[in-house]
Each structure stands twice: as structure tokens, then as C-alpha cells.
Amino acid sequence: MIVKIIQEYSLNHNKIRLINIVKYNNELVISREDSIAIESPLEIRLGYHKGSFQTLAITLCSPDEIVDLVYGQLYSEGIISHCSDVLSIQVFDNELGLIAEVILLKSIDYNKYLNKRHGMIHASCGICGKTEIDDLLTFQYTKNKQPIKSLSTHEICMLPEKLCQSQLAFKETGGVHACALFDKTGELLLLKEDVGRHNALDKLIGRALLQKLLPLSNKTILLSGRVSFELVHKALISGVTTLAAIGAPSSLSIEIAQANNLRLLGFVKNTGFNEYCNGKIR
């Protein structure tokens, strides 16, 4: 019998720190306390038993919900397919940052993924360090099925306000990204924040995996910023029907969305949005 032990990261960390600053406003100079977003290194190590691990990646992230982040990254990288592929995750701190040690089933061949990323994967760029970008460009996604019900124009325009109301860390710091998952009626199901756009989406996918929500068919993901190619890649891996964003999509993200029947929306606000792909099967 396989027993899964997950030790959540609870080392008195959160993603916000208070510091003293000097604020200049017109002719006024004010000393005050300010909230800033914490950015911390995270090393993800994989192995089959305690004491024998190999480094998969080093990323910069908000130091909270690390287990969700690890599950999401392993799932979106194609290393795991189910929660049961992971025997345990232990997260701890050292003088350099956070370390997540993941023990996998011996049937999971992770060695082929170890050399695809070199150096630091920065919070702002999810594919920095990838040596095999062709793997992303030629990935065989499961084709999205026609959605049973798409959100109406009015429902889509309501999403940014729902996202904004739940962005607690952003309200305090202005320094984190967010992504949110909505059901087919526009109800908010999940929201994750992180200093990295890709980390926020990995945290959301990881939590969805743990809650047995995958694939995310007939659901919508809303991003707080722009849409890069790898965010579309992760969205397609999750099986979501619609990917929407407050910002703009890149040309490559539009091409991949079109090829894989993903409805892609940009510049979403309360007055309207741009539709770049309608998600209809051609």
C-alpha cells in the first residue's frame, strides 16, 4: 500500500514583507511602512527514495503554496499524470532558499526531463533555460472538445472584477501576478498569486489536480497580465476551454491556441474584450 505524506510548507513564511521606505509625493516627503512581495529561490529535487535526489529546476517564486506549485509544474511538464505518481513532497528552508524534495513512483521516468533546463528559471519567464524548445512547439495536445456552454459576453466582462476582489497580495503590494479559474456560470473556483506568472498558473493547476478537477473542460482561466506561449501550453495541458487575460497575447500563443481549439481572449475589461481564437473545431 502506498502512503502519501505531504508536508506543507509552514515555516512562518508568507509572500509579503513590511519594510520602511521614504515616499516622495509632490512637495511632501514621508517616512512610512510599505508592503512588498517576497521573491524566494525554490529548488525542486526528484528521486525515488530519501537521500537520493536530482535537481529538476530552480525557480524564483512567492514562498507559499509550494506543494501546489510543485504538483502543477510536474503535471504541466508531463512528468506526472496523477496525484498518485507522487509518494511524498517535503518542503524545507535553508540559508539559500526553499527546497522541495519529491519522491516519485519508480515507474515515473523523470531522468529525460533533467537536462532540459539549465541555470535559473526566472519568475518572469517560464521557458528561460529550456534547451529543447522544439519539444514545446511540436507537443501533441489532446484536442479540446466543443464546449457545452461558453460564458456570455457579459459574464466574461465580469471576470476581471471578480479577480481583482480576490487578489489580496496584489492589493497590499502591487507586485504579484494572479490567475483564476471560473466554472461555466462564471463562478470563481480557484485563485492563485505569485511573483511569477507561470508559477501562479502552476499553483492553480496543481491545486486543480489535487482537487480532482482536471481536465478543466467547460471552464475558463483568467490571467492578470499578458499571454505568452508557455501560458497557453500550460492551459492546453490542463484541458481548459477558454483562456482569457487582462493583457495581450503574443503571436505564437495565438497560433498554438488556434491549432488546438482553445478560445483565447485578451484585453478583458468590464466594457469588452478581444477574441483572438473562438475555440471552434475546424
* pLDDT, tens digit, 9 for 90 and up, residues 124-182: 455 554 544 555 566 777 766 665 568 999 999 999 999 999 998 988 898 899 999 99
Instruction: List, by residue number, the catalytic residues.
Output: 125
Q: Is the pLDDT of residue 249 over 70?
A: yes
Average pLDDT over residues 28-44: 93
Distances 74 to 44, 179, 216 between C-alpha atoms, Å = 10, 18, 17
| Contacts of residue 216, Cβ cutoff 8 Å, sequence gap at least 6 | 181, 208, 238, 239, 240, 241
The length of the chain in residues reads 282
Whole-model pTM?
0.88
* pLDDT, tens digit, 9 for 90 and up, residues 179-224: 999 999 999 999 999 999 999 999 999 999 999 999 999 999 999 9
Question: Domain 153-278 class?
Answer: alpha beta
Query: How high does pLDDT run on average in the chain?
Result: 87
Q: Where are the domains of the chain?
A: 5-131, 153-278
